[in-house]
Structure formats: C-alpha cells, structure tokens
A and B are shown apart, each in its own frame.
Chain A
Amino acid sequence: MATARRPTKKATPAWAFRPQGDRCLSLDFGDKISVETGLQCLAAATALRDAQLPGVTDVVPSYTAVAVHFLPDTLSDDKVGAFDALCARIGEILGAGLPEAAASSREVDIPVCYGGRHGPDLADVARAAGLTEDEVIALHQAPGSMVFTLGFAPGLPYIGVHDAALNLPRRAVPRTAVAQGSVAIANRQTTIYPNVLPGGWHIIGATPLVMFDATRAQPALLMPGDRVRFVPISDQDFDRIALEQGRKP
C-alpha cells in the first residue's frame, strides 16, 4: 500500500475574515481552545504587528481569533472600502499559510505560594476534582502552559491548557474583590489578578510578582505566547519577594 502523501497544492487560508463593526476585523482560526490554534493566532498577530500597516492601531490575539483594530480613513479610497482593503493586505502578508507557529522563546517562572491564606479555594478544588491538594498543585505545575491572551485588566493573562482533571466551571458566586497576585483556575486555565479585581475563578495560590506596572519598559510581566512555569514557594518566600518587588503589604 502506498504511503499517503498530502498533495502539494496551494493551501486555503487557515482563517476566515469577520467584521467587528466598522473599525475592527477578526481573523477566525476555529472555535476550540487548543495550543495549536493559539499558536496560529499568535503567529498571525506577530506577523501583522511586525508589518506595521498604516491605519492599524491594535492587533489583539485571543484563543481562536486575531482582532485587527483600524482607522477606516487611512485604509479606504473612493473605490475600495476599508474592510476589503485591509483583508487584501492581510492576505498578502500572511500568504496562504502562516509563518512558523512557535511559542515565544521566553520562558517565565512565576513563583506561587499555594493554599493557605493565599489560596482559599485549594481545598475545594481538590475535593471537586477528586484529588489531593498536592496532586492539584502538581498538575498545575505540569510543563506546557502558555499565555494565550491578556485581557479583562491591564496585564491579566489567560494561561492554559491544564490537565482535564482541572476542568472546573467558575464559582457560582463571583467574589467582589480578589487579592492582588491571586492565581486562580477555571476551565483548564489559569489567570493571575494584577490588582484587586472582582473575579469568579478558584483561587489556589498567589504570586508576589507585580504583573503590570505602567512605569516599566515592559509594563506587562507576561506576554501572549510566553511559556509559563509555576514554581512553588513558601509563605516566607512570598513575603520576601513581595517586599523586594516593592509591593505594598
């Protein structure tokens, strides 16, 4: 039997264009969260940002889409509307396929103090998942976590995809105030609250790092595509690092 070989014909684009109002368009890469799709979105976003298209103000990757915010007057002329003009330009830049879809070379360690006063939901999570607290922590630290997107608040990352055992829905009643640095999970993902915010995820720990600081050259600690390693630390380490970071107690 002959080995099946994929014919080398011109591939159809991996995305579909979708207008989001009159100043934004989205490239849709699918409708399921996966590392592969996430990497496609990141690769496309990087290529589009690097292209520095006139009239494009923001390129925002999410789990399965890349949004391109633009100013219509820079892109359109009397014959071609901005949406069509931008789709054509994006098509040229990305070609029929995509540039190498690889995670960023950055690997960032995030120290986390699990449980106790920093992780009030760890026991509940363990019970709901049918695991011990240590097993939850071990699964949470498993390699392969990546930042898919940032949103909700400046510097707030969405990190995934965790083991299926950590697939818990959000809390039925969200908290009105979650502490700064809280590391929380839901739906096989982790988020870290950069400052005090309302939130409905399960808080399993906290990091002493400052996730966002407008005065830093790189204001957001984590960027889309970063690979993340959660490193367990003690309560004392937490306080020491928080102090070093200049965080208010």
Chain B
Amino acid sequence: MTLQVVRPGMLSTFQDLGRVGLQHLGVPVAGAMDERAHRLANLLVGNPQELATIEVTMTGPTLRAESPCCFVITGANLSPTINGHPIPLNRPLIMRAGDEIAFGERRHGTRCYIAVHGGFALEPVLGSNSTYLRSAIGPWHGRALRRGDELGLLRTFEPGRNNRAITALAMALSDIEIYLPGPVALAARRRVRVIKSAQWREFTPESCVAFLTESFRISPDSERMGYRLQGPELSMTHPRQMLSEATTFGTIQVPSGGQPIVLMADRQTTGGYPKLAYVASIDLPLLAQLGPGDSVQFEAISLEQAQTLDVRRVRAFADLAVALAPIKTLLTNH
C-alpha cells in the first residue's frame, strides 16, 4: 500500500489548496504553486480537488509502487516515464507492483503534480496537507520527500492471482476520452495579466510604462515564497514608508532597490513594501510554471475582468468534475 521514494528529485513536497483561516496568526497559506494543475491532477484520478498531491520541482523523483494504483501527472513536462517508457501528461495510468515512475529532461514548465486515486495517507497539520518548509509545518514531518520514504496510499488495487483485472482496468481507462475545456488548459500566453494596485499612481509614469512594456527576468533565487524580477528599475515619485499589512498570492511589491518581487504560495502573511500591482489569479499558474532565467511581461486588466476569468475557471473545473465522472466510477468500483 505504499509508493517508495527511490530518489526524491530536487524538491518534492505534499501540497493541497493551502492552509487557509490562520493568516491572522501569521501562518502562511502555502499550497500548490500551480493550483490549476493540482486541481486537474485530482479530477483526472477521480479525487476531490482538495486532496494533497506531490508538487515536483524541476527535477522529478523516482517512485516505485508496492501495489497496483492509479496515478496521473499534470503541469510541467519533465519527461515522465514508467519503467523507462515515456508516458503522457494529463492521462490517468495504472502502476503495477514493482513499476517505477521517473522523470528526465525538463521540456517546459517548472512544476508538475502527481496525484494518486484515493489520495495519500497523511496527517493534516493545522487543517491542511500543504507543506511550509520554512517553519517545518506540514503533513510529512513538514519536510520535502527523501530517499527511502514510504508514502502510504489510501486506495490500491488487489493484484489478484493474475493481472487480468488490472489490465482490463488499464484498458478501460485508456478508452475514456478526456477533453480539457479552454479555461482549464494552460494557455500559452506571452503576457501575465495584472490588476493595478491602489498605489499604482504613486509610482513614476516612467515606472508604470516600463512595467507594462518591458521584459523582466526571473532571478535565480526565485522560489515558492516569491519571484524576484530583474528589469528596469521602478520607483515611486515620493518614496514613503508603508505600514505592514496583509499580502496576497500574486502581490507585486517594489522594495527600495526598485526590482519587483512577486509573492507566491509560501509568502509571508503580511508585508510592508509598496505594492505596484497584483497578478490576476487566472495567470498565477502561468507564472508558477516559469522558472529562474525565464522572462516575463505584464499586461493590465480590470478587477472585473480578472474576477470574471477566475470565476470562469472555477466553474469550468466544476463542469470538468462532472464530465470526468466515468473515471471516478471506473476507479471507485474496481
């Protein structure tokens, strides 16, 4: 009933939709960087969207199954294989006892998500299975996966005397057609959409123009807490001290050095730097799939547009859950 961690990869952690409700105690939300890929992974193996998945960063782990189970990989394409044979993203597949999934070259994206049907056997901490490494808060001793870890699975399939039943299940799964509606698929956009902040007009006109027209490079020290951007220097017309206040996933703040920082999943709950803009929630997954060295450009949209896009995606996921019901039925009844 376990997945064995043969190799952990660069940074593989359990994440869910975040540890909400405790930000007033200074507890960061954490959670999946690419919420879109996380939700999709769960739906593709017949899980509720909020179950924990493994978030894999840049270099994937090698995992060996001890009993047959159903899994899927979504998000970045890190050349996944099963027993050395390439496997597709966004397709639920069966691992048999002894099978190994591994990863190779990073083709596009930065983070992929591994979900298993039924979920992992985890003890939530403060109501969530998200891992916040800085304070070691999270289900798996608050840490990333290590070599030798044995990850419990809540649902595996009986191997039976022969593998016929498993083969039949694998065949039935591969016969199910999967269409991802537009809002659920990751659009290949050139520009990340942002909403201007209340302090936008306090920045110099040159800074505002530069922010929306020039390219920024994601610096090497960018990670789950925040992305540091390198580009034209941004400044306020009359620099002033800000009081510390709540931050959000996607807040773009500008410290006195003039190089913006985009706050990501592991952001601190409060911050005191001037805020230029906020990444629209719809494009946070796009940003989460960029990595150090990638460049990014921004485009302003209105708050109303951002909310419409966000709501459209959430509803598309609800519709997808209905459309994928055959997968759930097939796996649950096996």
Contact = CB atoms under 8 A, between A and B. Distances in A.
B245 A65 contact: yes
Contacts, number: 142
- Considering residues B25, B244, B251, which has the most beta carbons from chain A within 10 angstroms of its beta carbon? B25
Given A20-B278, A22-B303, A23-B248, A214 B24 contact: no
A78 B27 CA distance: 34
B10 to A, nearest CB: 24
A22 B195 contact: yes
A73 B28 CA distance: 22
A23 to B, nearest CB: 6
Contacts of A220: 25-26
B251 A20 contact: yes
B293 interface: no
Contact of A73 (B26, B246, B270, B315): B315
Interface in B161-211: 195, 197-198
Contacts of A58: 20-24, 29
Interface residues of A, number: 46
A57 B135 contact: no
Interface in B16-44: 20-29
B321 interface: no
Contact of B23 (A60, A83, A158): A60
Nearest to A32: B243
Contacts of A154: 25-28, 135, 137
Contacts of A31: 243
Interface residues of B, number: 44
A213 to B, nearest CB: 11
Interface string A122-161: 0000000000000000000000000001111111101000
B161 to A, nearest CB: 45
Nearest to A76: B311
Nearest to A21: B278
Nearest to A149: B270
Interface of B: 20-29, 125-126, 134-135, 137, 195, 197-198, 243-246, 248-251, 268-271, 275, 278-281, 303-304, 306-308, 310-311, 314-315
Top 8 nearest A-B pairs (CB, nearest first) are A151-B270, A21-B278, A67-B246, A150-B26, A73-B314, A22-B306, A57-B20, A62-B245
9 contacts: A23-B248, A23-B249, A58-B29, A73-B315, A81-B308, A150-B26, A158-B244, A219-B25, A220-B26
